[in-house]
Amino acid sequence: MEKTGAISTLSALAHDVRIDVFRLLIRAGAEGVCAGQIADTLKIRPNTLSNNLKILSGAGLVTSLREGRSVRYFANIDAMRALLSYLMEDCCGGRADLCQPVLDQITCPPFPANLMDPDR
């Protein structure tokens, strides 16, 4: 990832609705979430959600799949991985042991019972 890509990705996440949407999609994993369910879960108007999904998609953080008349959205884990890699590229002067606490914090914990909880 280049600097401009990192800035675009961070900019897309730098909004309360968009970060909530992205985190919801991360929790949903490979199943993704239909747009209507995102709107209902986060209590967002559909037109507001649509605009924010467009921004997240433009930054490469979200992908979608049409299912009949609805659209299912997914978090692009590879895009987030690329951003984190870019941000931590020069971490700790090459000393992996100093980076381990950060890496431990970003490893995937077990999913909670309610994946769709927006307050998580």
Q: What are phi and psi of 71, to 5 degrees?
A: -125, 130
Residues with Cβ within 8 Å of 80's Cβ and at least 6 positions away in sequence, in order, are: 26, 61
3-state secondary structure of 72: strand
The listed CATH number (3.30.360.10, 3.30.1780.10, 3.50.50.60, 1.10.10.10) that belongs to domain 3-106: 1.10.10.10
Residue 78 has pLDDT above 70, yes or no: yes
Residue 18 has pLDDT above 60, yes or no: yes
Q: What is the largest CA-CA distance in the chain?
A: 51
Arithmetic mean of pLDDT, 102-110: 64
Residues with Cβ within 8 Å of 7's Cβ and at least 6 positions away in sequence, in order, are: none
CA 85/CA 110 separation, integer angstroms:
22
Q: Supply the mean pLDDT for the chain.
A: 86
Arithmetic mean of pLDDT, 64-86: 93
CA 75/CA 61 separation, integer angstroms:
6
